[in-house]
Amino acid sequence: MLNSHQSGPKAAKRSTASQPKNSEFSVSEFIAFVEKIGYGVEDLDRLNVIHIAGTKGKGSTCAFAGSILQQVDSPRRLKVGMLTSPHLIEARERIRINGKPIAKHLFAKYFNEVYERLTSDIPPLRKVLPSSPSLPGYGRFMCLMSIHAFLSEGVDVAIMEVGLGGQYDSTNAVRKPVVCGIASLGLDHQSILGSTIDSIAWHKAGIIKDSVPAFTVPQEDAAMHVIRSRAAERNAPLSVAEPLPAG
């Protein structure tokens, strides 16, 4: 059933061609799905999100952050949720708790609960546009599942990897992450994000939020200029994480 939400290459190409190149309504549409499954955007604030964008190294950054948090010396071990993509073998690899893919019975439970809520007539889905989809695609569905799972499991922090870009990605429904990070940038998804590094940087830096600390690795000058500008627009303190010394 989950695979029915994932488009093949031809379908994905048709879908991309039929939508605006950069859909300013994408996040609003995702928030409508969040509401449909019984949550509000304010519930996402409870997840203490670490939000990671980038072209290369964002998955590794998520893994490192998760590992570090699990070693925190506190009265009790932190419960760390993580959303990443793609998966290698099973879809449940995308949703992890304390570094391990969510258990099969929990994956089935949360999948069914989210699917039933999405397909129920009550409450009706708030349509952002007349053309807005009635059901989420694969990536959106997995993001919804992760939110439902993390809130249900009571995670202390959720590390969320951007699926594509940043500005219009589903994960950008999070309004108040605790920190944002941008991994190494390069030319990717140019048909959607643009063909220049500064255009791509604009999308990736779209995850930066008002007054929320942000980190980036060193970037090309054009990309760094855009990241600094977007951070300044949002009064977000920006730090550059220099590479660790070799050896």
Task: For residues 217-222, give the mean pLDDT.
Answer: 96
Q: What is the pLDDT of residue 193?
A: 84
- State the pLDDT confidence band at 20, using cuts at 50, 70 and 90: very low
Task: For residues 79-90, give the mean pLDDT.
Answer: 95
Q: Long-range pairs for 96-100 at CB < 8 Å and ≥24 separation?
A: 96/66, 97/149, 97/153, 97/155, 98/66, 98/70, 99/63, 99/66, 99/67, 99/70
Q: What is the pLDDT of residue 246?
A: 80
Span 1-18, pLDDT tens digits:
665 555 444 443 433 333
- Lowest mean pLDDT of 80-94, 100-114, 192-206, name the range: 192-206
From the number of C-beta atoms within 10 Å of its C-beta (0-12, 13-18, 19+), residue 7 rates as middle
Q: Are 169 and 163 in contact (CB under 8 A)?
A: yes
Cα dihedral: 32, 37, 41, 43 (round 10)? 180
Task: For residues 84-101, give the mean pLDDT.
Answer: 95
Provide Rg for the chain, Cα atoms. Answer: 18
- Lowest mean pLDDT of 26-35, 73-82, 99-108, 174-183, name the range: 73-82
Q: Are 1 and 114 in contact (CB under 8 A)?
A: no
Task: For residues 94-118, give the mean pLDDT.
Answer: 97
- State the pLDDT confidence band at 93, using cuts at 50, 70 and 90: very high
Task: For residues 232-246, give the mean pLDDT.
Answer: 93
Q: Hey, how many other C-beta atoms are within 10 angstroms of the C-beta on 26?
A: 22
- State the pLDDT confidence band at 40, using cuts at 50, 70 and 90: very high
Q: Hey, how many other C-beta atoms are within 10 angstroms of the C-beta on 9?
A: 7
